[in-house]
């Protein structure tokens, strides 16, 4: 067997994009950590329930409640709060270790995914340091070893990204949707994926960001012959690989 395969490196996490849109998520606590968790959940379009005494609310959490961006119960957590069958995730951010561990155990009994802030052994998942630019999300995780270091690494990565990369990604998404309209068949799936990959490799991020609606329509005409014209060729109406005389001469 001459093939070489990746070596297994244990100790990591399976990093996923967890879709919680319109799903019920319970946040226990109302302090600064809870505020960050709530913002992450609302950005993911979750249906958030906050349980915390009002005198323990962070100003940001109080604002979310006042604006009715979350549902709110003004008291400490009670075990019966987990009887709601719609709860799919629980996040705790309280300063009471015993109460947090009790919630963790209850979640395990009910098979509900939970994150107990600052207690890695009592977490089904971790929150990493997140960079967001429109549809682009980049998460850096240290698997609970160094949250502050994750933040430093995330900032360094973000500093090296083009400032318009979010717009470029939005336009690629629009092009993909248009392509499905041009070639909707299931059998076209592999070709669609390959063609889109070629576009992303052939065009620069700047080209993708500059791409307009009419450019997309012209570019899609190249799907059937399975070629990738440049943005300049698209705008000039040229075919890929075809030289066109521009009136200049290469000799003297």
User: What are phi and psi for residue 194, nearest 5 degrees?
Assistant: -65, -40
Report the C-alpha gap between 174 and 218 in whole angstroms: 14
Q: Which one is predicted more confidently, 14 or 50?
A: 50
Q: Under a CB-based contact definition with an 8 Å cutoff, are residues 53 and 29 in contact?
A: no
What would the two tokens of residue 50 be? Answer: 């906050």
The dihedral region occupied by 144, where left means phi > 0, alpha psi between -120 and 50, and beta the remainder, is left
* Least-confidence region, from 34-38, 69-73, 86-90, 142-146: 142-146
CATH of 24-126, one of 3.40.47.10, 3.40.50.720, 3.40.50.1580, 3.40.50.10470: 3.40.50.720
Active site residues: 118
- When pLDDT is cut at 50, 70 and 90, the band that residue 246 belongs to is very low
Domain positions in the chain are 24-126, 128-161, 165-236
Q: What percent of the chain has pLDDT over 70?
A: 94
The stretch 68-87 carries a mean pLDDT of: 97
Query: In this predicted structure, which of 41-50, 99-108, 132-141 has the lowest mean pLDDT?
Result: 132-141
pLDDT, mean of residues 4-16: 88
Q: Is the pLDDT of residue 89 over 90?
A: yes
Chain segment 112-128, per-residue pLDDT in tens? 999 999 888 899 988 88
> In 3-state terms, what secondary structure has residue 27?
strand
pLDDT band at 244 (very low <50, low <70, confident <90, very high): very low
Tens digits of per-residue pLDDT, 187-200?
A: 999 999 999 999 99
* pTM exceeding the 0.75 threshold for the entire prediction: yes
Q: Where are the alpha helices (DSSP H) in the chain?
A: 32-43, 59-66, 97-109, 147-159, 165-182, 189-202, 205-210, 213-220, 231-236
């Amino acid at each position: 067997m001459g093939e070489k395969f990746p070596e297994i490196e244990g100790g990591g996490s399976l990093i996923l994009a967890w879709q919680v849109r319109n799903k019920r998520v319970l946040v226990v606590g109302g302090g600064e950590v809870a505020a960050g968790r709530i913002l992450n959940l609302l950005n993911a379009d979750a249906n958030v329930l906050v349980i915390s005494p009002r005198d323990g609310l962070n100003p940001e959490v109080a604002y979310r409640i006042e604006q009715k961006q979350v549902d709110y119960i003004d008291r400490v957590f009670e075990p019966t709060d987990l009887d709601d069958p719609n709860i799919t995730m629980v996040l705790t951010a309280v300063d009471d270790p015993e109460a947090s561990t009790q919630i963790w155990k209850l979640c395990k009994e009910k098979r509900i995914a939970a994150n107990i802030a600052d207690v890695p052994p009592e977490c089904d998942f971790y929150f990493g340091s997140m960079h967001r630019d429109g549809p682009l999300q980049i998460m850096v995780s240290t698997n609970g070893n160094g949250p502050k270091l994750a933040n430093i690494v995330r900032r360094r990565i973000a500093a090296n990204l083009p400032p318009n990369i979010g717009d470029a990604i939005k336009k690629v998404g629009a092009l993909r949707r248009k392509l499905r309209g041009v070639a909707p068949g299931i059998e076209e799936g592999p070709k669609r994926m390959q063609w889109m990959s070629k576009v992303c490799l052939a065009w620069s991020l700047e080209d993708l960001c500059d791409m307009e609606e009419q450019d997309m329509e012209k570019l899609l005409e190249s799907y059937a012959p399975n070629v990738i014209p440049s943005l300049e060729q698209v705008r000039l109406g040229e075919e890929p690989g075809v030289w066109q005389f521009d009136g200049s001469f290469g000799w003297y």
